[in-house]
Amino acid sequence: MPVFQLTEELIFPNPLFGRPDGLLAVGGDLSPARLLLAYSLGIFPWYSDEDPILWWSPDPRMVLLPSNLRVTKSMKQVLRNNHFRITFDTDFRSVITSCQQIDRPGQEFGTWITQEMLEAYCQLHEMGYAHSVEVWKDEQLVGGLYGISLGNCFFGESMFAKMSNASKAGFITLVQALENKGFALIDCQTETNHLNSLGAENIPRIEFLRMLKNNLNGNDLKGKWTDFR
């Protein structure tokens, strides 16, 4: 199956035409308009510094329905005891920079967040589409995650933790807040044991795209989420 070469024209091929490994297209740019179009079609960029921009639409797709969130007794206790202080959209750049720099043993693209990508997502944050969760301990940033919000969908991009349970605490708090706001779908992209343990599951790409289409015209929560609960 061919990989599509993007041009300056703001267009993507049908995501159902991606290769078996999920690679769909190459090239283009990381302009806000192209990134937002990509996410609305279930496509995201993932590449390293040595590569051109690569665009993906995996099959199957890992998703979490907020109502399926799984929280262990130990994590409930961590959250109940306020072991961490958790904020939203307080320091987006520090969160994405930490995701970029954190060591990820055994992960091929440990530094897949290129500087070009970092700046592009910071621009989306300033526009009100990209959001961060910060996890603090003794006023130090010890964990967090970021992603994109469109309609009733949140597209998780990356998370990091410098302390045990930090990223889980941030993720659980985010999912509970998203459910309270009526979000229907959290895109987790590809499978990990960490996400499996929290209730995420793989679904066929065609089912993901159907759910995405049905939930893009819901909440208009563009802007800073500093009071998001």
- Which pLDDT tens digits describe the chain residue by residue (229 residues)? 789 999 999 999 999 988 889 999 999 999 999 999 999 999 999 998 889 999 999 999 999 999 999 999 999 999 999 999 999 999 999 999 999 998 765 554 445 799 999 999 999 999 999 999 999 999 999 999 999 999 999 999 999 999 999 999 999 999 999 999 999 999 999 988 889 999 999 999 999 999 999 999 877 788 999 988 7
Exposed/middle/buried for residue 122 (C-beta within 10 Å: 0-12, 13-18, 19+): middle
Backbone angles phi, psi at 137, to 5 degrees: -140, 120
Q: How many CB atoms lie within 10 A of CB 106?
A: 5
Q: How many CB atoms lie within 10 A of CB 36?
A: 15
pTM: 0.94
**Residue among 170, 178, 194, 197 at smallest CA distance from 84:** 170
| Token representation of residue 196 | 């499996």
What burial letters (b/e) apply to 9-24, b meaning 16+ CB within 10 Å? eeebbebeebeeebbb
